[in-house]
Chains A and B, each alone.
Chain A
Amino acid sequence: MIRKLIAAGLAGTMLVGTAAFAADYPDQAVTIIVPSKAGGSTDTTARIFAEVAESKYEGFEFVINNMGGSGGQKGFEAIARAEADGYTIGMNFTPQMVAHVVSGRADYTLDSFHIMGNVAQDAGIVAVPKDSAIQSMAGLAEAAKGGDLTVSVNGIGSDDFLAAKAFEKQAGVTFNLLPTKGSTEQKAGILGGHVDAAFMNLSQMIAQHNAGDARIIAILTEARDASADQIPTAKEQGFEVYMSATRGFVAPAGIDAGIQSKLDAMLADVLADPAFKKKTAASKIALLPMSGPDYTAYLQQLQAETQEVYDAAPW
């Protein structure tokens, strides 16, 4: 008898599950695919979002599914392929998401997604060893003349790589470019004086900068960062090089418009929530809220810029 009841219940939920209408949405947990390992900053962002959203919206439950590796490609593909029923959304991070498209490795395109909006950013920076003679971006350009200044980036096709390429183009120099397996190697290289400079992200080096173990000579955003306002922008120093790693939410394209607008509104609402702001600040996540249309435009432009770099020197 009990078995029959359970079976009937299961059949019932399956029926409801297939017909997802905005009216009775959600009737099950929403999965957030995080295309990186648990414990990283993208993962933390998703978890804080889930926590705040669950407390604000009754009936909503989120499950985080980490799909790390391959520069996020596995996760991005999974989001693009997921059923567009509103029960799977995911996080994206740039520039990897568009870089996979540009290099022809991705099965998805930007059109495979509905871009929900951006949440956070990690500004690009240029760091040098603490006793380096290089004090500014002009100094970096000067030192790079001759082509034997060793500069590390976090892998080919990464945000650091694109920023370094953009700087090379503007300053008319060529670095002795050192690709690494990640920020750990980059930090060790700068702190140990094995490289002359590194293109990195603010969160990876700010502690070392504050401790005096390394020096950040420029931040690669339009304006100075509120948490590190003593660091000048590259723009102030005469170099229009902009790069930051953004982290936002996307959904598979084709979700029922009613459901999608519910989710989009929720994202905007959570981003404006004081509890969300407080929690992200504690985890040192720099917020950069962007609406869906704005973020879509940003991604399209980024893809075009990345394409230019790729066409000049494919990887």
Chain B
Amino acid sequence: MEYLSVVFTLPALLTILIGTFAGVVVGGMPGLTATMAVGLLVPFTYTMDPTLGLMLLGGIYCGAMYGGSIPAILLNTPGTPAAVATAIEGYPMSRRGEGGLALKTSVVASFTGGTFSVFILLLFAPLLARQALNFGPAETFLLAIMGLAGIISIADENTSLIKALLSGILGMIIAVVGTDDMSGSLRYTAGLVELIDGVDFMPALIGLFSMIQMLELAGQRDHAPIDTSALGGARKRAKLPKGIGKFMALGSGTGTVIGILPGEGATIAAFISYNFAKQVSKAKAMFGKGNPEGVAAAEAGNNGCVGGSLVPTITLGIPGNSVAAALMGAFIIHGMIPGPELFTIYADRTYPFILSMFVANVTFLIIGLAFAPYLARIALIPPSVMVPVVCAFAVLGSYALNQSVFDIYLMIAFAVFGLLLKKLGFSLEGLILGLILGPIAEGGFSQGMIIGKGSPTIFFQSEIAKVMWLIILVLLLPPLVSHIRRLRGTKAR
């Protein structure tokens, strides 16, 4: 109780408010990431009161995870990779004039996922962290495969299954560039220092989504007008669709669990939640065409990662993802070494920090709900204004990431190359999934093989692995069956 009173003081509330708002903005700008924001601010918290410093960073983390969905829905330009799945459903909604509704769904789902995961963090952190340790490289490989199974679900009438799979493989091939962690040798880096760490997926994301969207907008002779009739309604009260709670719950649970696993990220969480939602949904055919259920699951999924990722971070000192790793730096700077001490000696800082994230979630919920009707109108901005502004941000964002001009060229290359692929009917979502998850799958596979001393049985040994194989089958089989049916159907005709 006394910890609550630490949170509900004016400086603390103000700090959380500023952090969350800044987080939403950072998340919303393609190229600015939560990892970057937290990393840059860690040194500044050094001179701050430790508790307030952590609250600021926590607010940024929560806000950024939600913020990524705003441009994803309105402009089809996900602010973070974790919002790619949101864009798949959110942008078509926006084109239908349901942007307000999509934004609302996204903010409520983000809030649900975020709050649920912080509850879990507060109540069960030590217990769950121990469980997460059973998750080894072999299981990491399977998790990446689960994420990659999402490529199958991208395939629909517009993108054939073969083309979706090919784009996934293409993404993985691009991800091969860089240092091979297992041997230390360089793969296809062409002697460029910039490529030693491989192709950064942020310039790829900006090029493939933000830039291409703008190129397409600029290339349209007649601008398909957005159905504005629904916008007026959005100002009043667009009610969330019925039964959407189920999908938020699904995403929250999935996101939290994946967040807890060491080293896994929000992108996988969002895609797996999205994939689950598609399997469970009664309106499967609506997926890919603007189904709010998909937005709900994906957003609850990536925000569920926030609390989840802090579980192993603060109990064991094993950060759940890169943002959590940066946050851990802040703990260490203040002499709070993650471990049991955080809950004993430093309990008066740790608990207020955890509680502050509830406030952060409420803050972005209010921001999101209050601004949704106004933000939705962004979609109405004429292309002649929108295109140059977003392009400028795309260039700026690509540069800001590593302060590297090389990344700008990389982004432009992805845009040109991606536009070509898109026109040929390949799926860019598949490409980015392959690019992000390929290295995780590769790392898990090679490490699993080393630990298993060259025998692949390690991928089937543990109970977790067996359950995961089952889930992978469940994710893969139904779309395949329906695909084959469709093929048969067209042949019979």
Contact = CB atoms under 8 A, between A and B. Distances in A.
Nearest to B57: A39
Contacts of A109: none
Nearest to B192: A70
B316 A176 contact: no
B136 A189 contact: yes
A105 B193 CA distance: 9
A185 B183 contact: no
B59 interface: no
Interface in B16-45: 38-40, 42-43
A189 B447 CA distance: 11
Contacts, number: 128
Interface string A31-43: 0000001111101
Interface stretch (A13-21, A71-79, A118-126, A246-254): A71-79
A43 B196 contact: no
Given A43-B43, A77-B193, A192 B136 contact: yes
Contacts of B443: 181
B128 interface: no
Interface string A182-195: 00110111011111
A35 B134 CA distance: 34
Interface string B440-470: 0001000100110100000000000000000
Nearest to B333: A283
A284 B337 contact: yes
B39 A70 contact: no
B181 A155 contact: yes
A69 B42 contact: no
Nearest to B446: A179
Contact of B450 (A103, A150, A181, A213): A150
Contacts of A181: 181, 443
Contact of B326 (A39, A70, A157, A208): A39
B263 A69 contact: no
B92 interface: no
B403 interface: yes
Contact of B453 (A68, A148, A194): A148
Given A69-B402, A194-B136, A179 B43 contact: no
A184 B450 contact: no
A47 B182 contact: no
Given A40-B329, A283-B335, A284-B335, A187 B318 contact: yes
Interface residues of A, number: 50
Contacts of A188: 133, 135-136, 262-263, 312, 318
B168 interface: no
A202 to B, nearest CB: 12
A184 B263 contact: yes
A189 to B, nearest CB: 7
Contacts of A226: none
Contact of B184 (A195, A206, A315): A315
Nearest to A210: B339
Nearest to A50: B43
A180 interface: yes
A187 B316 contact: yes
B316 A38 contact: no
B136 A284 contact: no
Given A150-B450, A184-B319, A74 B193 contact: yes
Contacts of B316: 187, 191, 208, 213
B233 interface: no
B193 A70 contact: yes
Contacts of B38: 39
B414 to A, nearest CB: 19
A194 B451 CA distance: 8
B197 interface: yes
A73 B193 contact: yes
Contact of A39 (B42, B197, B334, B453): B42
A157 B40 CA distance: 28
B325 interface: yes
Contact of B263 (A40, A185, A284): A185
Contacts of B383: none
Contacts of A207: 317, 337-339, 341
Given A189-B136, A192-B134, A38 B447 contact: no
Given A39-B38, A150-B451, A211 B318 contact: no
Interface in B394-410: 402-403
Contact of A282 (B39, B43, B197, B335): B335
A192 B133 contact: yes
A31 B430 CA distance: 42
Contacts of B337: 206-207, 284
A105 B402 CA distance: 20
Contacts of A178: 447, 450-451
Nearest to B35: A37
A67 interface: yes
Contacts of B402: 68-69
Contacts of B186: 105
B224 to A, nearest CB: 42
Most buried by B among A41, A64, A148, A187: A187
A67 B403 contact: yes
Between B43, B263, B335, the greatest number of chain A beta carbons within 10 A of the residue's beta carbon is seen for B43
Given A69-B197, A188-B263, A282-B335, 16 more contacts: A38-B39, A38-B43, A40-B329, A71-B196, A150-B450, A156-B184, A157-B184, A179-B184, A185-B262, A188-B133, A188-B312, A193-B133, A207-B317, A207-B338, A213-B339, A282-B334
29 contacts: A38-B40, A39-B39, A39-B42, A39-B326, A39-B333, A64-B43, A69-B402, A70-B193, A73-B196, A103-B184, A105-B196, A156-B181, A177-B450, A179-B181, A184-B262, A184-B325, A185-B263, A185-B447, A187-B262, A188-B136, A191-B133, A192-B136, A194-B451, A207-B317, A207-B337, A207-B338, A208-B317, A211-B340, A283-B333
- Kindly list the 3 A-B residue pairs having the minimum CB-CB distance in the complex, ordered from nearest: A156-B184, A315-B184, A192-B133
